[in-house]
Chain A
Amino acid sequence: MSEKAEPIKKVSIVISKGGLEDVYPGLIMANGARMEGIEANLFFTFFGLDAIIKERMDHLKVATVGNPGMRLPGGMAMPTMLGGLPGMSAFVTSMMKKEMEAIDIPPVGEFIEMISDSGAGIYACKATVDMFHLKKEDFCSQVNEIITVGEFYEMAAGGQIIFT
């Protein structure tokens, strides 16, 4: 082994998609960063904004259409055609939520609160907010600010950027 690598000090994580399986990895990484003493910022953009919109954050769903990784209980691959059946997304979502709760992963709303309380910053993308005609009041109280991409880069200075 060569000399010990420099530890990561700061991360800025972009969450750009709104599926349950798209949002959680970024939340887990942000929370995990804070648990390791790493400074963390979360920046939500495009459909990722759903994770911080009050009315929507606890109703995110798993995308079952076009997802070749889907498995049936027991581990058999799920034919992709089945993903489009009515109710499939709701069913898979409820299964996944149950499994997550069992390993202590909180629902999105509680997770955002936890991450914010841990000292991480939570930001919404101004371009998307304008495009979707959203207002500050639509967002959960943990959102620090609606910022431009330029402000995001300023805020991310000196750290790593992770895009999800």
Chain B
Amino acid sequence: MAQKELLGQIVEVDTDGHFVDYKVWCEDMACEIAKEEGISQLEDGHWKVINFMRDQFCESGECPSLRKITKQSGVDTKEIYSLFPIKPAKTSAKIAGLPKPKGCI
């Protein structure tokens, strides 16, 4: 297990940089992780996705599939690919402080 420093706090992450414990995450950390992923500013659309994913994860213990996100969060497929152009499911999970999504869809 690796560690990284975010906003002066030591956070445990997996080898791909996903949080081990989603509870240590905060919104300011999301902005920092987003910058590392090449997203300079988190807009409303990003937050819609991040908040939806965290709500779903709290409920079910799993990251929602991309299909679920695009059907239920209010951000459709075209938009999610423009918000998170590279690896939308993984990148949004990483920014939201969640583990790597396990689904194929």
Chain A residues close to B by CB (< 8 Å) = 28, 31-32, 34-37, 103-106, 113-114, 117-119
Assess the B67–A104 pair: CB atoms within 8 A.
yes
Specify the chain B residue showing the minimal Cβ separation from A100.
B105
Binding site for A on B (CB under 8 A): 65-68, 70, 76-78, 81, 85-90, 103-105
Given contacts A35-B66, A104-B65, A104-B68, contact A117 B105 (CB under 8 A): no
Q: List 7 A-B contacts (CB under 8 A).
A: A32-B104, A35-B87, A103-B103, A104-B68, A106-B67, A117-B76, A117-B81
Closest CB-CB distance, A111 to chain B, in whole Å?
Answer: 9
A114 to B79, CA, bound (A): 11
- The residue that B81 contacts in the complex, of A103, A113, A118, with Cβ under 8 A, is A118
Question: Which of these, B67, B70, B87, B103, contacts A37 with CB under 8 Å?
Answer: B87
List of A residues within 8 angstroms of B90 by Cβ: 35
